[in-house]
Amino acid sequence: MLKKAKEELPEETVERTRFEIPKIKGYIEGNKTIISNFMQISDFLHREPSLVLKFLQKELATPAIIEGGRLILGRKINSKAIDEKIDQFVKNFVICKECKKPDTKLFKEGRILLLKCMACGAKHPIRV
- Would you kindly state where each structural domain of the chain is located, as residue ranges? 24-94, 97-128
Angle at CA of residue 59, ends 53 and 18, nearest 5°:
65
| Predicted model pTM | 0.80
* pLDDT confidence tier of residue 83, bands split at 50, 70 and 90: very high
Kindly give the interhelix angle for 49-60 and 38-45, rounded to the nearest 10 degrees: 110
Q: Does domain 24-94 have CATH number 3.30.70.3150?
A: yes
Run of H or E residues at 71: strand 70-73
Give the chain's radius of gyration (CA, Å): 19
Share of the chain above pLDDT 70, in %: 91
Share of the chain above pLDDT 90, in %: 56
